[in-house]
Structure 1
């Protein structure tokens, strides 16, 4: 009898070890698949972000992107900048719903649509967002995206912005004033691809003195440690304290705000550092590209 019990226990132990081996192999396989998807999403994201950004005399630009910290939380945020045919410089930041390979691919699609609409001659940011919304809403893709689109005219130093469900730009001037464009404004338009026929209002203002402007995604300013408004105020203070610094330094310091929020989302920031129109009166007005 004792021998039979030992054989039964031994057989049961062998079965358990065999099952454990199969489960371990399956977990390893799933981990490898997940790791491959993360690497693919990172490659898609970084491959589709621009390698150069437009600039002009007296205007310097820098951008940063930070992937999410865990899992497949990557791929939705972007920044972009390009020159329009009339000499206007266009900049955008945005955030696609979802954080995976599909979000990364959709991000590229949104950027292409925005560029194509702008290239067709639409220089008004509200019109660009409206047309892009119609095109994206006509697809069967269930994803959507928030976006802030900005147009800067280097001849007049005027700026026009329009938002599709996105956070407003943060600004600071050398006189110590700082804030958030359109803070608290409710009429900002729905995210892109949510509802056909949506219209997007345009805010106009002008750079009158040296300063800095930051376009960013909510991963920079919102997290478990403090809410959106506190994050925006923190970025405004960073810009105000470093208003005379180069945009690369400012972009790095703005991204440090993201670390303080304790966020787990990916994050993107685009910083425009400017001298103001008075400093550039004798400069060549034709924009260049770096």
Structure 2
């Protein structure tokens, strides 16, 4: 506790309830008419159908109105007497506390966003409350040219954004900030247009679009800092001629400084994720081979950190076909690189001795043990003879494949085996089985089971039920079978690419 002399001690808890109790979250919820058009939006019906005309009013960020001059004959002792110096200091401190509370609540809400789109939408909502607008747009356009570039609107439909994009870029406030030094750190830092239709040099197309969308003023700020550089710009639109007061400009400037740093961190994360996803995609087959007697389809989902799940299909001598799925332990760039090396090695071994899946996995085990002793992996390799509909398969610590057809839906009986890198004698047991015409063999990675969140037994039961429920009309198409199984085992968005676990499926239908 700071020891403040009693002559200047201020009891903030004695502030008026309306100023002290209302937080910024209440300001987003509570709507009230705003002040004069010169200071804020004037309340009036919307000019565009479907746009809410109410405006969030952060009343606790507005400076208190000046005291009326003392004109009463009673002099200083009358109702309009000058306020004591302590009361003025208390009001000033109350304003500072209110502003800090506002910024704290807004930045906390922004910090909880974990995606660029969500962060830009939150930025627009908070900025609209601070400057007293109800519509706006944010343009993300990093000046390093590496992207991603996007435009997010607040209170503007996709068609409205399309109309705005027809305005010459140089005529829009965000264009001025993005294409000139004004939007760089240390530049002018804002573009204020309090009355668009009163401007003599207003672009005709801008005038037409502003009239169509029903805005008469705008206020724009760059999204730039010394550390992050220039990432984009934000613009808020007023329905009537207006501009934010100096205090509001100061608050939104402080908020955007924090928001830009947060966006820069999200941008780095998004770029890293996109780069890893691209590398992962390039390490998987660009297309599946066409082999007589077999139809192939694949599906895969990559987790946010990138993992080591993979699949492969390659034609082999004597009209044979090699099918493989596997998973490398760990996540991130290291796991992705290891997955690429393992898949390339398996392809080489399969071409040399693919008719013996045990030998293929034994060679892969030896390679992994010698070159990456700290890493383990699971793998399954199947040598298929489409003309005979015969499959010879070996697995090392991997999930058993599933056969589904008109008369059966069952897992292939395989012996339990340790993963690659943990085998005692470098040998995985094998199994040979026959499939009927029209049956599909489904190979998958354990990420399909892990994403369900169920125990292993329940996850296998869910997979079996999903395969058995494939409609008869879809069973001739392996791609439709894979989609049905994926969406049935992983409902409610669990099959999306941002899941925690990688998933890979490979479906082979024998004719």
Q: TM-score range by the shorter chain?
A: 0.7 to 0.9
Change (3 A) 1:77 1:257: farther
8 Å contact kept, 1:85–1:121: no
The answer for unaligned runs of 5 or more in structure 2 is 11-88, 108-253
Which residue does 2:510 correspond to in 1?
A: 274
8 Å contact kept, 2:368–2:375: no
Q: Does 1:204 align with 2:417?
A: no
Q: Does 1:50 align with 2:285?
A: yes
Whole-Å separation in 2 of the counterparts to 1:75 and 1:140: 17
Of 28-37 and 96-105, the range deviating more from structure 2: 28-37
Which residue does 1:278 correspond to in 2?
A: none
Deviation string, structure 1 residues 15-35 (Cα, Å, up to 9, x no partner): x99xx9999887665544433
8 Å contact kept, 1:48–1:108: yes
Change (3 A) 1:219 1:78: same
2:405 to 144, 152, 173: 173
Deviation string, structure 1 residues 200-227 (Cα, Å, up to 9, x no partner): 1111011233211110112223421563
Q: How does the TM-score come out when normalised to structure 1?
A: 0.77
Whole-Å separation in 2 of the counterparts to 1:203 and 1:243: 29
Deviation string, structure 1 residues 175-197 (Cα, Å, up to 9, x no partner): x2111112xx5x33221233463
Of 152-161 and 130-139, the range deviating more from structure 2: 152-161
Whole-Å separation in 2 of the counterparts to 1:52 and 1:247: 15
1:80 to 312, 323, 341: 312
Change (3 A) 1:118 1:230: same
8 Å contact kept, 1:37–1:101: no
Which residue does 2:205 correspond to in 1?
A: none
Whole-Å separation in 2 of the counterparts to 1:78 and 1:238: 26
Matches within 5 A, 1:112-261: 112-140=344-372, 142-174=374-406, 176-182=407-413, 185=414, 187-195=415-423, 197-222=425-450, 223-225=452-454, 227-239=458-470, 241=472, 244-260=475-491
Which residue does 2:273 correspond to in 1?
A: 38
8 Å contact kept, 1:190–1:198: no
Whole-Å separation in 2 of the counterparts to 1:31 and 1:125: 45
Whole-Å separation in 1 of the counterparts to 2:379 and 2:266: 33
Of 87-96 and 117-126, the range deviating more from structure 2: 117-126
Change (3 A) 1:36 1:272: same
How far off is 1:255 after superposition? 1.6
1:65 to 275, 296, 300: 300
8 Å contact kept, 1:61–1:247: yes
User: Secondary structure of 2:440's match?
Assistant: strand
8 Å contact kept, 1:173–1:243: no
Whole-Å separation in 1 of the counterparts to 2:392 and 2:290: 16
Q: Number of paired residues?
A: 260
Change (3 A) 1:189 1:225: closer
CA-based RMSD: 3.1
Change (3 A) 1:79 1:150: same
Change (3 A) 1:240 1:25: closer
Instruction: Point out which structure has higher relative CO (alpha carbons under 8 A, 6+ apart).
Output: 1
